[in-house]
Structures are given as structure tokens and as C-alpha cells.
Amino acid sequence: MSYIGHNAARIRERIHQAAVRAGRNAEAVRLIAVTKSVGQAEIRELWNAGIREMAENRVERGSVVVPDSPKGITWRLIGPLQRRKTLEALRWFHAFDAVDRVAVAETLQRRCDELDLTVPILLEVNVSGEASKHGFAPSELDQALREIRPLDRLKLEGLMTMAPWGAEEKILRTVFRTLRQLAEARGLHEISMGMSDDFEIAVEEGSTMVRIGRALFEAPVADTTCVHDK
């Protein structure tokens, strides 16, 4: 097994243990591989490890990674979608996990109508309220849902958020728990939260999709211990 396969197996085990701690079924949590920093060799190793959902955060990466990747991968766009790039995005991506404005959803609807497509989407929610993050404020969510739910080319499945980087556990749990409560109260079943540094906490708080990049691709550290003859 390659080190990527080993990492994937280890992450799956950590997901399982986190789910057990929370009294959840681990099979309800999907591992999404974030491939923004790697090439085809690593993507094929992910495929060999049984991972079938992969993600990029920039539309432009679609033309780089998708054409030569193994067939059968669901490619997810996890970064913000600019309206002018919607047609290009629909060429490469199967799901859109960071819809952060009603206008973006409306453009996506029009383009899908033109192409006779239906695509799954998640709405990004800026639970932490950080100015640097995209997404609807929690207070804006209900109005956004009223405007987006009638768009019949968009299959609204759930919500996504990003927790503050490097935050203490108490803050992470508050952010993740809030997103789960927002989703559950609105009948949305997908909850995308948790990355390499915090996915176990996210699983404990109800995540159904964890987005893992760095932890999948970390090479094992070489043993530099010197052995001297006596």
C-alpha cells in the first residue's frame, strides 16, 4: 500500500472512532479528497484507495485534473463560484459545495437549464462571522432558502462551513454544532464541515462530509537515527 493509501486507511479509522464516540454510524460520513495541491499520480493513488469523491477549490483546476483522472470520480467544487465561470465549472464539476450568494444560484440555474442538467449544491454558511470567509450569515439563511429552493435545476442537499483556522476546541465545536443545528432545523441532510486538523471534532458534532487534503498526502517522515558501530 502506498503512503497515500495508508493515510486514507488511517483517516477512515479516525472517522470511524470519532463516529463511535458520538454514537453515530461511521458509514454516514463521507471522505472527500481535496486535490488542489497534487497531480495525476496522487489522484490515481486516491482512486486505488477507494476514494470516489474529490474536490478542487478553483474552477481553473478542473481542466487540469479532470480529463486524465480515472472515470467514475464525482468532482466537487468547494471554493466560491464566480458567475462568469459557471459554464466552465459545469464542464468539469458534478457538485457545487460553496454556493454563497443567491445570484450565483440563479446563474447556475440558468446555465443548467440551457444544458439540461441538474446538479447537487450546498450553501456555504459563514458561521464564525469572519470577514475573510465567504458564505451566508446564519441570519440570512432562511431568506436565501426561500429564493433558492424553487430553482428546480439545483438539488439543494445541505450546508457547508469552514471553522476558524487554529481555533481552540470549544470554538470549533460551537461552529460545527451550529451548522448541524441550522441544517437539521431546515430539513437538510448533508453537513460538510471538518478538514485535516479538525475533522474528528466535526464528525463528533454531526458532519456527513469531511474535506481532507494535507492529511492524505503527508509522506512518512524518514528515520534519521544514526547507528554507530561500537
Each residue's pLDDT expressed in tens, for the chain with a length of 230 residues: 589 999 999 999 999 999 999 999 999 999 999 999 899 999 999 999 999 999 999 999 999 999 999 999 999 999 999 999 999 999 999 999 999 999 999 999 999 999 999 999 999 999 998 888 899 999 999 999 999 999 999 999 999 999 998 899 999 999 999 999 999 999 999 999 999 999 999 999 999 999 999 999 998 765 444 444 43
Cell of 75: 468532482
CATH T-level topology, domain 3-217: TIM Barrel (3.20.20)
Sequence-distant (6+) residues with CB within 8 A of 183 are 158, 159, 189, 190, 191
Question: What's the grid cell of residue 201?
Answer: 471534532
DSSP string, 82-149: PGGGHHHHHHH-SEEEEE--HHHHHHHHHHHHHHT--EEEEEEB-TT--TTS-SB-GGGHHHHHHHHT
**CA 184 to CA 194: how far, in whole Å?**
17
Residue 169 has φ and ψ, to the nearest 5°, of -55, -40
Q: Take residue 218 and report the three cell numbers written for it.
A: 503527508
Residue burial 52-61, b: 16+ Cβ < 10 Å; e: rest: ebbbbbebeb
Extents of the domains making up the chain: 3-217
pTM of the model as a whole: 0.93
